[in-house]
Amino acid sequence: MSEGEGRVFLRGITSEQYGLGEQRRRQRAAPRVRLAGTVTDDASVAHSGDEPDLSRTWWVLGPGDEPFLTQTLQSHFVELMPGGRNHGHGHQNEALFYILEGKGYEIHDGKRYDWEKDDLVVVHNDSHHQHFNASPTEKALALVIKAKATWMYLGLIQQGRQGPAPEGVGPREDWSRLWTPGVQDKKKVVKPSDTRWEQTRDGKVRVLSAPSRSDVRAHSVDVLQQEVAPSSRSAKHWHMADEFVYVISGRGHSLHWDVEAEIDDKYYARVATKPSRWDFGPGDSLYIPQNTVHQHWSDGGEPLVFLSAQNRMFKLLGYDSVVYLEDAPASSREVAGATSR
């Protein structure tokens, strides 16, 4: 984000031609790995009232980035200093916080939710929320993943810390009357003990947020954690949704086979014969464009562990299939380790 330009909440698509092939080519040409420490936006546009001694926010993926990758998913970090907090604020979009370090708590609509390392915390849609570090000596760090631009596209743009209501309006009504019945009874903090490791066609995974996790109050972003054994690999697979990957530990690389559309009597897919390779390490972020065949490899002497996120809207639009071109290798040792935590 350039100085003085403000934040890009939703990026437009314009072209002098009906075909948008050039836009797709530019997206594919952009680097797909953002190294640990990358800051694409310092959140200077009053994100949550950051104060250096209390909290800090910085973005790594969003619609205002140059080069542009995606706006189906956005990601940023929230760091809370020892005993720190940020200012309470609200936005209509939900946000998922994966706790990387520390322990603390949230206040959502006046209710407290405690969290610690490796928890997934859901800030529900239309929530007034504030984050607190419970430790007087240790910092807390969270990776935030959201599909904010989806809300913006739908015109759900009410956010901030508004003051008194304007003139000409009636008394307060309960906003939650518009929500799906029963949604307030769902889980807001997903702990490791609430999940289990499973051996799947893609390898060893645990699901934190997905349509199958109907007990979790998340509607827009699907998140799983995956572990790839040293010198092993995930499945080689293909789905329409793009994907954001954050490397928690280990080193590896991702192979991407871009897919071209041939629109003839119907849509046909033509997969690249040679993949591009993208190397990464702890703290790095990887982006996988829409409609890309991909596979992850663990290169170091320790397991590769990462978070993977997708915008659930793709499933609602009819793209809920995953095509497995190669399964991940099955291992009795990995299966034995797929136990509840």
Q: What is the 3-state secondary structure (H, E, C) of 301-328?
A: CCCEEEEEEEECHHHHCCCCCCEEEECC
Residue 12 domain flag: no
Here the CATH number for the domain that contains residue 202 is 2.60.120.10
Q: Is 224 exposed, middle or buried (0-12, 13-18, 19+ CB in 10 A)?
A: buried
At residue 340 the predicted structure's pLDDT band, cuts being 50, 70 and 90, is very low
At residue 7 the predicted structure's pLDDT band, cuts being 50, 70 and 90, is confident
Which pLDDT belongs to residue 241? Answer: 98
Owning domain of residue 246? 21-162+188-337
| Tokens standing for residue 250 | 């280990």
Cis peptide before 67 (omega within 30 of 0): yes
Residue 151 domain flag: yes
Instruction: Say which amino acid occupies 299.
Output: D
Residue 195 domain flag: yes
Residue 180 domain flag: no
pLDDT digits (tens, 9 = 90+) for 166-216: 899 999 999 999 999 999 999 999 999 999 999 999 999 999 999 999 999
Longest C-alpha distance within the chain, in Å? 68
Torsion angle (degrees, nearest 10) of CA 278, 280, 286, 290: 20
Residue 283 domain flag: yes
Q: What is the mean pLDDT of the chain?
A: 92
Q: How many domains does the chain have?
A: 1
Angle at 247 between CA 275 and CA 9, to 5 degrees: 90
Residue 9 domain flag: no
Which pLDDT belongs to residue 160? Answer: 86
Residue 168 domain flag: no
| % pLDDT > 90, the chain | 86
User: What's the whole-number mean pLDDT along residues 311-331?
Assistant: 94
pLDDT digits (tens, 9 = 90+) for 215-268: 999 999 999 999 999 999 999 999 999 999 999 999 999 999 999 999 999 999
234 three-class SS: coil
Residue 177 domain flag: no
Which pLDDT belongs to residue 47? Answer: 59
Q: Which residues pair with 61 in a beta bridge?
A: 75
At residue 46 the predicted structure's pLDDT band, cuts being 50, 70 and 90, is low
pLDDT digits (tens, 9 = 90+) for 100-154: 999 999 999 999 999 999 999 999 999 999 999 999 999 999 999 999 999 999 9
State the DSSP code for 118.
Answer: T
